A and B are shown apart, each in its own frame.
Chain A
């Protein structure tokens, strides 16, 4: 059973702070990694994708991947109240289109 694990939270951070979201996965063959944001009652939207070890930055967001540790994280700098949402980590094994989602971490940014 391939698993993707996240702390459900909620993770509360003050406005302007850095939010750090973490995810571990069980399948060493995984090759594609994603962070999706889901607002309550809405469908997920892609925040970041990362495919190789290291950091990938896009605006206030940085994804970090460590395949040896089977760990992927998302950093949100200068957190804003509008960042308050559930963040879903998703992993794809590679060679297959199936994507497995974690249970999500609820982030609350406090003004």
Chain B
């Protein structure tokens, strides 16, 4: 099946710094990727839809200037958390639509961000 690779799997940073998370579709092209955030014991919340070659579409309440998304190629989307603060600490998961099924999502392994 389709594989989505996400890196890094975990990162610890100081408050005020920026962190970049990469999401790659390994064996298929993904014109659209999705970034989710999951706080402890909560469900996945869609942050934004990343579109190859165009601007990302952000969900209501998500600051586009804080969570920068770049989808420069058909296999790579990046999420940069700028000026991170402790409240940004969360589990960030990217996904792409699996070519094998309608609307089926394949998820990356996730990136656990801890901001000190």
In the complex, number of A-B residue pairs with CB atoms less than 8 Å apart: 51
Complex CA gap A44/B108 in Å reads 9
Q: Count residues of chain A with CB under 8 A from any CB of chain B.
A: 21
Residue A45 CB within 8 A of the other chain: yes
**Residue A69 CB within 8 A of the other chain:** no
Chain B interface size, as a band, is 20 to 34
- For residue B57, which residue of chain A has the nearest CB? A98
Q: Is the CB of B43 within 8 A of A88?
A: yes
Report B82-107 CB contacts with A as 1/0, cut-off 8 Å. 00000000000100011001111111
Q: Select the stretch in A12-20, A77-85, A101-109 that faces chain B.
A: A101-109
Q: Are A44 and B46 in contact (CB under 8 A)?
A: no
Interface residues as binary, A76-101 with B (CB distance below 8 Å gives 1, 0 otherwise): 00000000000010101000011111
Report whether A98 and B43 are in contact in the complex, using a CB–CB cutoff of 8 Å. Answer: no
* A100 contacts across to B, CB distance below 8 A: 46
Q: Which chain B residue has the least Cβ–Cβ distance from A95?
A: B103
A34 interface contact, C-beta 8 A? yes
Nearest-neighbour CB distance to chain A for B83, whole angstroms, equals 26
B102 close to A88 (CB less than 8 A): no
Contact: B44 with A97, CB < 8 Å? no
Contact of B32 among A32, A45, A49, A97 (CB under 8 A): A97
Contacts of B101 in A (CB 8 A): 49
B107 contacts A44, CB within 8 Å? yes
Residues of chain B whose beta carbon lies under 8 Å from any beta carbon of chain A:
32, 34, 42-46, 49, 93, 97-98, 101-110, 112
Closest 8 A/B residue pairs (Cβ)? A43-B107, A92-B103, A32-B103, A43-B110, A103-B43, A101-B44, A101-B43, A43-B93
Give 18 A-B contacts (CB < 8 Å), ordered by A residue: A34-B103, A42-B109, A43-B93, A46-B98, A46-B105, A49-B104, A90-B105, A92-B103, A97-B49, A97-B103, A98-B46, A99-B34, A99-B46, A99-B103, A101-B43, A102-B43, A103-B42, A103-B43
Interface residues in chain A, defined as those with a beta carbon under 8 Å from any beta carbon in chain B: 32, 34, 41-46, 49, 51, 88, 90, 92, 97-104
